[in-house]
Amino acid sequence: MDNHELSLPTPAASLPTRAAAPLAPGASSAPAAPLMPGSHAAGNPFGDETNRRQPLRNARKRISSILAAIGALIAKFGVALKALLVALPNLKLFVTAGTALVSVAAYSIFFGWEFAAGFVLLLFVHEMGHVIALRREGIKASAPMFIPFMGAAIFSRSLGDNALAEARVGLAGPILGSIGAAAVAVVGELTGSSLLIALAYFGFFINLFNLLPVVPLDGGRAAAAMSPWMWFAGFGVLVALAFLDPGNPILLIIVLFAAFQTWHRWRQRKTRSLAQAAYYRVAPRHRLLVGAVYVALIALLVFGMHETHILSSAGHSFGSI
């Protein structure tokens, strides 16, 4: 017995005796363990300390398990976030490629997949002109995102620090897009491919339409440096086109966007704040340079459309365009 108490034997003569009960046959007799004075049946004079501490230990184990689970969750979230940041450039590529495929599928319903793929490629070249110009201005731009029957778009925090920078960014798209369409036209003439010639015509047409001097089109960006009053002339032309083709929902959507953008930009300009005055302050020689590029682009695109206009290709009619 390990309870650190001293047990002294008691003299046998001082205890009364009595007869022991007879044992049953086959039973064995064993001396009963004597109880010490003041001892409990459990062998602990202060109760069971282990049983009293058990709930506290269980609670600590639960808390430790919960904290470990939270730590593991945070670690997994960190790994996932790091993987997302690493894959972000690829994500932009997936967005561009995915929307391009959707646009190809949409255009192929009307013009066939070969023409649709080439048209989306020309749109990509046009948008990359804006991306390159924005990077030259020190502005990060998103990858092109294609919108079926609406063309394509890029996104950035601004278009430059002033109207001249905005004009450079705006004209860069039609310039590079026109070069791409001209290259397709040359290859089409050399190979005798009516499909490529029709594709070049569409490329010239899209870049010319974008030169309408109304925001948010590229011509409206150039007009910001030449004269913002041109926005109203461009909006008038856009409304006239919508009336001439009332069944075209795309034109109607563009008119609505142009109306909002023109109103918003003009209201900002009429505040006559120092920031607005500085933004639209462009040197006369720069206005002339932007105007010369703008007019030259229009002339070249009209010439390109004239030289590449065909009535049909691969069973698809282009006579109404």
Q: How far is CA 213 from the centre of its chain?
A: 30
User: How confident is the model at residue 262, as a pLDDT?
Assistant: 93
Confirm whether 15 is domain-assigned. no
Instruction: Please give the average per-residue pLDDT across 169-196, as a whole number.
Output: 95
Domain count along the chain:
1
Q: State pTM to two decimals.
A: 0.69
Domain assignment of residue 97, given as a range: 85-317
> Lowest mean pLDDT: which of 48-52, 232-236, 288-292?
48-52
CB atoms closer than 10 angstroms to residue 276: 14
* Tokens, residue 147: 């919108």
E strand map for the chain? 145-147, 151-153, 312-313, 316-317
pLDDT in tens, 246-294: 888 889 999 999 999 999 999 988 888 888 889 999 999 999 999 999 9
Is the separation of the CB atoms in 105 and 111 below 8 Å?
Answer: no
Does 20 reside within a domain?
A: no
Asked whether 202 and 122 are in contact (CB, 8 A), the reply is yes
Confidence of residue 48 (pLDDT cuts 50, 70, 90): low
Peptide bond into 89 cis (omega under 30): no
Q: How far apart are CA 124 and CA 173, in angstroms?
A: 10
Read off φ and ψ for residue 284, nearest 5 degrees.
-55, -40
Q: Give the SS3 label for residue 116.
A: helix
Does 14 reside within a domain?
Answer: no
251 within domain boundaries: yes
The β-bridge relationship of strands 145-147 and 151-153 is: antiparallel
* Residue 68: inside a domain: no
Q: How many CB atoms lie within 10 A of CB 309?
A: 16
Model confidence pLDDT, tens digit, residues 130-173: 999 999 999 988 888 899 888 898 888 888 889 999 999 999 99
How far apart are the C-alpha atoms of 297 and 212, rounded to whole Å?
12
Q: How many CA atoms lie within 13 A of 299 on its CB side?
A: 6
Cα separation, 76 vs 48, in Å, equals 43
Coil, helix or strand at residue 153: strand
> Who has greater pLDDT, 243 or 68?
243
Residue count (the chain): 321
pLDDT band at 10 (very low <50, low <70, confident <90, very high): very low
Q: What is the C-alpha to C-alpha distance for residues 248 and 242, in angstroms, rounded to an integer?
A: 7
Question: Phi first, then psi: what are they for 316, rounded to 5°?
Answer: -110, 130
In this structure, is residue 90 part of a structural domain?
A: yes
3-class DSSP state of 282: coil
Q: Tens digits of per-residue pLDDT, 78-90?
A: 555 455 445 455 5
How far apart are alpha carbons 194 and 316 in whole angstroms?
A: 11
Count other C-beta atoms under 10 Å from residue 179's C-beta. Answer: 15
User: What's the pLDDT at 227?
Assistant: 93
Predicted local confidence at residue 223, as pLDDT: 95
- Residue 230: pLDDT band by 50, 70, 90 thresholds? very high
Residue 33 lies in a domain: no
247 belongs to a structural domain: yes
